[in-house]
Amino acid sequence: QKEVEQDPGPLSVPEGAIVSLNCTYSNSAFQYFMWYRQYSRKGPELLMYTYSSGNKEDGRFTAQVDKSSKYIPLFIRDSQPSDSATYLCAMSERNTGNQFYFGTGTSLTVIP
Amino acid sequence: DVKVTQSSRYLVKRTGEKVFLECVQDMDHENMFWYRQDPGLGLRLIYFSYDVKMKEKGDIPEGYSVSREKKERFSLILESASTNQTSMYLCASSSPGLAIGELFFGEGSRLTVL
């Protein structure tokens, strides 16, 4: 079993839809959670970062952390074609910036 | 604006060739990483460096070596390229001193080995 699991997709939604991207993990030592967005032929860029249970919102994006279920979904509200990308969840045990565990990513296409 | 620069975006090499992938960061970060990214496998860590001349093996170091002679520069070396090393290579950096220990990535180097 991989330590971090994501639905690979591809996921295709119409513009304006609410998108839910799933990420689960097995190691209860993970305390810091990140979502990266990766456009085609580009490197990943940090989208969201959180370390506490509950919701963290940034514009149309909401990351939810449920440590009891080891589940950290990312929700995108009013999805736009510019949201079309691969979304990677990542996590670490410590905030020391030297050990990260990544999911394989979910490919999302938002159709105009 | 923070930047991680990978010198080669696309490379085509032949089996057995020596390949150098260069990465430079301008953020004075202590940590630098090399990952490879393959469909269905995600990001896999090849090597990690936490200081000049210091390195640690990641999950898949076989067939690779690294060099970090200056803080800002981290090179990945394929001594004798093989077809199974065809992949997207991503360099990243981070700093343990930051409030958020995030990784900053370069644009990637897509290597094809024929």
Least CA distance to B5: which residue of chain A?
Answer: A43
Give backbone dihedrals phi and psi of A83, rounded to 5 degrees, phi first: -80, -5
State the pLDDT at residue A110. 97
Q: Give yes or no for B95 touching A (CB within 8 A).
A: yes
* CA-based nearest distance B40→chain A, Å: 6
Low-confidence ranges of chain A (pLDDT < 70): 1, 95-97
Domain count, chain A: 1
Pairing, β B65-70 against β A19-21? unpaired
pLDDT, tens digit, for every residue of B64-107? 999 999 999 999 999 999 999 999 999 999 887 665 667 899 99
| pLDDT score of B17 more than 70 | yes
State the pLDDT at residue A1. 63
Annotated domain spans of chain B: 4-98+105-113
Q: Give yes or no for A89 touching B (CB within 8 A).
A: no
Q: With contact defined as beta carbons under 8 Å apart, do B19 and B46 qualify?
A: no
Q: Look at the domain B4-98+105-113 and name its fold.
A: Immunoglobulin-like (2.60.40)
Q: Give yes or no for B23 touching A (CB within 8 A).
A: no
Give backbone dihedrals phi and psi of A82, rounded to 5 degrees, phi first: -70, -10
pLDDT, tens digit, for every residue of B25-67? 998 999 999 999 998 888 999 999 999 999 999 999 999 999 9
Asked if the structure places residue A61 within a domain, the reply is yes
Instruction: Indicate which CATH number applies to the domain containing A29.
Output: 2.60.40.10
State the pLDDT at residue B98. 63
User: Are residues A44 and B105, on separate chains, in Cβ contact within 8 Å?
Assistant: yes
